[in-house]
Amino acid sequence: MPFNPQAVLIVAAILFVLGLVGVLTRKNIIFILVSVEIMLNAAGLAFVAAGARWGQPDGQVMFLFILAMAASEVSVGLALVMQTHRQHKTLDVQELRELRDKTEEYSSI
Amino acid sequence: MNNLLALIPALPLAGFLILSLTGRHLPKSIIAGIGAGSVSAAALITIFIGMQFLQSPPTGNAYTQTLWQWMQTENFSAGIDLRMDALTLVFVFIITFVGALIHIYSTAFMRHDRDYARFFASMNLFVCSMLLLVMADNLVLMYLGWEGVGLCSFLLIGFWYETPANVAAANKAFYITRIGDTAMAIGLFLLFRELGTLNIPEIMTQAPAHFQPGASNVTWIALLLLAGGMGKSAQLPLQTWLPDAMAGPSPVSALIHAATMVTAGVYLIARMHVVFQLSPVAMAATAAIGAITLFVAGCSAMAQTDIKRILAYSTISQIGYMFLALGVGAWSAGIFHFFTHAFFKALLFLAAGAVIESLHHEHNIFRMGGLKDRMPVVFWTFLAGAAALAALPLISAGFYSKDQILWYAWSAQNGNPMLWLVAIAGALITAFYTTRLMIVVFWGDMKTHIGERPGKAMTIPLMILAVLSIVAGFIEWPHNLVHLSLFSDLVQRYLPETLLQEGHPPEIIFQLVAAAVTLLGVYAGYVLYYKNTSILEQWKASPAMLSLRNFFYKGWGFDDLYDTVFVRPFYFLTRINKSDVFDLLNKGIATTSQRLNEWFSFSQNGSLRWYVVGVLIGIIFVLGLQIWG
Amino acid sequence: MNVLFYLSSAIAIAATIMVITRYKPIHALLYLVVSFMAVAMIFLSLGAPFVAVLEIILYAGAIIVLMIFVVMMLNLGSETAQQEKEWLLPKVWLGPSILSLVLLGEIIYLLLRSGTGNASFIFIDSKKVALSLYGEYIIAVELTGFLLMAGIVGAAHIGKHKKKHLHRFLQEEEVSTKIEVRSTKPEDEKQTKPVAYKP
């Protein structure tokens, strides 16, 4: 059967960029997590396509590792989301800026 | 025998280390024991080695000892190598023997001082550095000693650092000798470029083959080395630091600024005599500088009122005699004058220190007076030293050495009547101001009450030095009187023989003239300051004489001259460059980093999306490189 | 094959666009399930049935369910949807979207430039994958196990419900000051003495 790897990779790229747009435009942490999942999935798709192109199982093995990583990332990430919601009463990432540079505040002391 | 060599500088070094590390906690008696004991032990070893050296001369007329390699590159090596030949022996003997006497004197002189340990640590370090200077086998090690004595001189001039004037004097000494030191360093670089070695015996053998006599390169080297000697030995035009250096304690003046360090220039020229002989210009310059210096400094000494400044100017003047002797080619005469001068000038400074201390730190000689019967030991020893300084015929060491120089100034190979004339005028002046000093201090009415009298630890070194000031000259007699020339026989194992011109007048005439001039100077001093003081009063009334006296008092106005030529233009430059141009560069770097920090800290705003945009732009850039790169 | 691939690709892209533009989290998650299923179809069309099944079980099953649970726990209802509406303004999404499109253009350009045309299709069954996974990748599998363990422990620790969030050093300080205050009272001494601080 004929098969065009470029088309698959372009689909993977489109899915990846859509995930990226989601990360960039949404402020809600839940949506950001969802978008990260989309990006990971797109990367897995690219791996599988490459494996199919060369007839090797390695692409699928890599997809399995990505899957495992996504699972643990999501579990930890959701725990953090719950904790954030509990302490800050918000899910807006723009509100969570404790790690910014505070030079002005220190110099004013 | 060779193994003992390293002990000579090592003992004072050990003393320095012990005193500087633990001196704070030691009682004064132990500090004195370590300080004076280390130098005395070095003196004993020196005498032992010297006896061996005289009885059975070693091969090559030198003991050598290689301690270890100091630095080694492809075509240059310098070691910590010690070398003891005839010239070194004379210097080491003076440094350790006179140094030991001065240390013993200091144990009593400094007994009330708070920083007893610091004083002896500095003195021991000085003795060690000076020994390294004269015992070094290569010029790099010698330069180490050379800078070491400069450092110790600085430390000891500013010993009583609570007084700002003392600190200023220490700084002045350091800066001015630095000019000479820099010139000397350049001279050493040139020498290395020409010969490819700085080992002294190698230079001695290679230089005559490598250089054309009178060539410009060897002349430059010799002149630069001479400039180094001028700075250290306070010769014109770098002499202005020595009178101010009297701010240090009297034993320091005796050891560093009379007997040893200031004669380092003499040592350098004698050590490098091969280079100097190849350059007639440098020889003539040495002689001329010596002659001018001895006259200028002698005139200044006549007008001083501070007892130590008189002696300081006389030191400059006497070193001028040594330079004159070296310049005319009378090598052994110059070293012989160093030998006798070390005894009598150290004696004069120590005796002056005893007087100053007894009179509650009074320095002005016109507030002394009448000490002849009240301090007999100091009087008689001071008299012996003064006689040697004035070169009283036959009974003083100074006569034998200075008479030689006067004779050679005319009749040696490079000598000429002009030099002799200046030297004989200097001899007259020397006799005059020495008589003035003696009469004003020891005769007349007592003007200041005597406090504490000097103890035994101070008077015994004085007496030893007084005896040596008289008898040290007897080892070298004028050729026409007694055929005894032990000293020149010794030093001529290293230094060349003094060559005489054809058709010079007979020596006896010079001796008679020199003796007559000395006696004339003494008589003039006697008349003016003792017998008929009204002449002096008349002079004081005339404005011309008074301005001349002020001119001499200020040391021929050299300080004012340098102030006008160097210091004021420098101040002017600093004033117009008040907001330092070069600082702007440094400040610019600081300001730029601060601005950048402010700008970039804006980017660290804690916003996750902002960071992701940064990553995204980075990826776009990298992929763009792939596309268009 | 080709029709299946293009169809499922279109569905995946469309569903993903819906995911990132929804206001209600639960709607977005349901569209995400659709997207994952479409991707699973792509896997099938690429001759990778094993990962297609895993995609559905793990992604569309486990992970999405986890997220839906959280959404339910946090009670993100219409209130959140209203807030999302306020947040998702053109001035917020226009700039990043253009930048992302530039990136997409670059990627597609690079892919097409280095294209090799059609390739033959090779079916890879789960046996091959399993042999590879437990053969040459065995170390990586072990490490993945560690990662999952760390994920579980981390999630359990972070998700624990704590009343006050204080660093342990600060907690210790607080407790020790309390003990000091108490020890000033003589009658409480007997009780406070054996009490040691337990974090």
Of B607, B608, B616, the CB nearest to A20: B616
Tokens standing for residue C174: 């607080």
Residue type, B522: V
Among the ranges given (B254-263, B614-623, C92-101), the one the predictor scored with the smallest mean pLDDT: B254-263
Last residue of a domain, one of C88, C113, C137: C88
- Among chain C residues, CA nearest to B621: C103
Tokens standing for residue B148: 């070491």
CATH 3.40.50.360 fits A5-107, yes or no: no
How many CB atoms are closer than 10 A to CB B126?
27
Cβ separation B606–A24 shorter than 8 A: no
Gap between the Cα atoms of B599 and B587, Å rounded: 18
Considering only residues 153 to 172 of chain C, which have any Cβ-Cβ distance to chain A shorter than 8 Å? Answer: 154-156, 158-159, 161, 165
Gap between the Cα atoms of C146 and C107, Å rounded: 34
The interface pTM score, or ipTM, of the predicted complex is 0.88
Looking at the predicted structure, is the pLDDT value of residue B147 above 80?
A: yes
The per-residue pLDDT of chain B, averaged, comes to 84
Distant-in-sequence, close-in-space partners of B424: CB < 8 Å, separation ≥ 6: B406, B513, B514, B517
Cβ separation B620–C99 shorter than 8 A: yes
Chain B residues whose CB is inside 8 A of the A99 CB are 606
Pairing of strands B77-84, B63-72: antiparallel
pLDDT of the residue at C177 = 57
In a domain, C102, yes or no: no
Looking at the predicted structure, is the pLDDT value of residue C190 above 50?
A: no
Of C96, C106, C109, the CB nearest to B620: C106
In a domain, C133, yes or no: no
Burial of B595 (0-12, 13-18, 19+ CB in 10 A): exposed
In a domain, C58, yes or no: yes
**Confidence band of A56 (pLDDT split at 50, 70, 90):** confident
Are residues B405 and B324 in contact, defined by beta-carbon separation less than 8 angstroms?
Answer: yes
Task: State whether residue B90 is helix, strand or coil.
Answer: helix
Gap between the Cα atoms of B382 and B379, Å rounded: 5
Looking at the predicted structure, is the pLDDT value of residue C185 above 50?
A: no
Tokens standing for residue A8: 């698959």
Distant-in-sequence, close-in-space partners of B171: CB < 8 Å, separation ≥ 6: B154, B158
pLDDT of the residue at A20 = 93
Chain C residues whose CB is inside 8 A of the A91 CB are 74, 76, 80
Cβ separation C106–B609 shorter than 8 A: no
Are residues B507 and B421 in contact, defined by beta-carbon separation less than 8 angstroms?
Answer: no
pLDDT of the residue at B619 = 92
Q: Please, what is the Cα angle at C23 between C17 and C24, to 5 degrees?
A: 110
Does A39 touch chain C if contact means CB atoms closer than 8 Å? no
- Give the residue, B473 or C9, on which the prediction is more confident: C9
Chain B residues whose CB is inside 8 A of the C114 CB are none
pLDDT of the residue at C8 = 92
DSSP H helix total and E strand total for chain C: 10, 1
CA distance C104 to chain B (A): 9
- Give the residue, B391 or B148, on which the prediction is more confident: B148
In a domain, C98, yes or no: no
* CA within 13 Å, CB half, B9: 26
Cβ separation B609–C96 shorter than 8 A: yes
Tokens standing for residue B253: 């003046």
Tokens standing for residue B362: 């009074």
Looking at the predicted structure, is the pLDDT value of residue C175 above 60?
A: no
Q: How far is CA C95 from CA B610, C92, C183, in A?
A: 12, 7, 63
Cβ separation C109–B619 shorter than 8 A: no
CA distance B610 to chain C (A): 10
Looking at the predicted structure, is the pLDDT value of residue C178 above 70?
A: no
Q: Provide the b/e sequence for B510-542 (b: ≥16 CB within 10 Å).
A: bbeebbebbeebbebbbebbeeeeeeeeeeeee
DSSP secondary structure, A31-71, as one string? HHHHHHHHHHHHHHHHHHHHHHHHT-THHHHHHHHHHHHHH
What would the pLDDT profile of B409-419 be if each residue is shown by its tens digit? 888 777 788 88
The per-residue pLDDT of chain C, averaged, comes to 81
Task: State whether residue B483 is helix, strand or coil.
Answer: coil
CA distance A104 to chain B (A): 9
pLDDT of the residue at C17 = 93
Last residue of a domain, one of C54, C88, C122: C88
pLDDT of the residue at C116 = 67
Burial of B450 (0-12, 13-18, 19+ CB in 10 A): middle
pLDDT of the residue at A109 = 43
pLDDT of the residue at B69 = 83
Of A28, A71, A85, the CB nearest to C62: A71
What would the pLDDT profile of C73-126 be if each residue is shown by its tens digit? 888 878 888 888 888 888 888 888 999 999 999 888 888 887 666 666 678 888
pLDDT of the residue at C170 = 62
Does A50 touch chain C if contact means CB atoms closer than 8 Å? no
In B139-215, alpha helices (H): 139-157, 164-195, 200-210
Looking at the predicted structure, is the pLDDT value of residue B20 above 90?
A: no
Q: What percent of chain B clears pLDDT 70, i.e. is strictly above it?
A: 99
Overall average pLDDT of the A14-40 stretch = 92
Burial of B445 (0-12, 13-18, 19+ CB in 10 A): exposed
Among the ranges given (A31-35, A101-105, B87-91, C101-105), the one the predictor scored with the smallest mean pLDDT: A101-105
Cβ separation B627–C106 shorter than 8 A: yes
Chain B residues whose CB is inside 8 A of the C102 CB are 620
Looking at the predicted structure, is the pLDDT value of residue C188 above 80?
A: no
What would the pLDDT profile of B476-507 be if each residue is shown by its tens digit? 777 776 677 777 777 777 778 777 777 777 77
Looking at the predicted structure, is the pLDDT value of residue C68 above 70?
A: yes
* Residue in C20, C99, C104 to test binding to B, most B beta-carbons within 10 Å: C99
- Among chain B residues, CA nearest to A24: B609
Task: Outline where DSSP puts E strands in chain C.
Answer: 119-120
Overall average pLDDT of the B44-60 stretch = 83
**Confidence band of C142 (pLDDT split at 50, 70, 90):** very high
In a domain, C83, yes or no: yes
Last residue of a domain, one of C63, C88, C113: C88
Considering only residues 67 to 96 of chain C, which have any Cβ-Cβ distance to chain B shorter than 8 Å? Answer: 96
Overall average pLDDT of the B531-549 stretch = 77
Among the ranges given (A89-98, B108-117, B264-273, C189-198), the one the predictor scored with the smallest mean pLDDT: C189-198
Provide the number of CB pairs (under 8 Å) joining chain B to chain C: 23
Gap between the Cα atoms of B512 and B406, Å rounded: 11
Cβ separation C99–A13 shorter than 8 A: no
pLDDT of the residue at C171 = 62
Looking at the predicted structure, is the pLDDT value of residue B530 above 90?
A: no
Give me the number of domains chain C comprises: 2
What would the pLDDT profile of B401-453 be if each residue is shown by its tens digit? 888 888 888 887 777 888 888 888 888 888 888 888 888 888 777 777 777 77
pLDDT of the residue at B67 = 81
C-alpha C6 chain-centroid distance: 27
Closest CA to C20 of C102, C76, C68, C84: C84
Cβ separation A23–B601 shorter than 8 A: no
- Tracing tokens 């689909």 back to the chain, one arrives at A11
Distant-in-sequence, close-in-space partners of B205: CB < 8 Å, separation ≥ 6: none
How would you classify residue C188: left for phi > 0, otherwise alpha for psi between -120 and 50, otherwise beta? alpha
Gap between the Cα atoms of B236 and B295, Å rounded: 10
Gap between the Cα atoms of A17 and B460, Å rounded: 102
- Among chain A residues, CA nearest to B605: A100
Gap between the Cα atoms of C151 and B518, Å rounded: 107
- Give the residue, B447 or C145, on which the prediction is more confident: C145
DSSP secondary structure, C47-100, as one string? T-HHHHHHIIIIIIIIIHHHHHHHHHHHT--HHHHHHHHHH--HHHHHHHHHHH
The DSSP H or E segment spanning B67 is: strand B63-72
What would the pLDDT profile of B565-577 be if each residue is shown by its tens digit? 888 888 888 888 7
Q: Which residues pair with A28 in a beta bridge?
A: A92
CA distance C4 to chain A (A): 12
Overall average pLDDT of the B147-164 stretch = 88
Looking at the predicted structure, is the pLDDT value of residue C140 above 70?
A: yes
C-alpha B604 chain-centroid distance: 65
DSSP secondary structure, B414-477, as one string? T--HHHHHHHHHHHHHHHHHHHHHHHHHHSS---S---SPP-HHHHHHHHHHHHHHHHGGGGB-
Domain span at residue C172?
Answer: 168-199
Q: Please give the DSSP secondary-structure letter assigned to residue B245.
A: G
* Residue in B599, B607, B615 to test binding to A, most A beta-carbons within 10 Å: B607
In a domain, C121, yes or no: no
Sign for the pseudo-dihedral over CA of B340, B345, B350, B352: positive
Are residues C171 and C181 in contact, defined by beta-carbon separation less than 8 angstroms?
Answer: no
Pairing of strands C119-120, A2-3: antiparallel
φ, ψ dihedrals at C196, nearest 5°: -105, 155
Closest CA to B364 of B447, B431, B285, B297: B447
Are residues B410 and B291 in contact, defined by beta-carbon separation less than 8 angstroms?
Answer: no
φ, ψ dihedrals at B71, nearest 5°: -145, 150
- Tracing tokens 């003016």 back to the chain, one arrives at B528
- Tracing tokens 């000259």 back to the chain, one arrives at B473
Cβ separation B605–A98 shorter than 8 A: no
Q: Please give the DSSP secondary-structure letter assigned to residue B565.
A: I
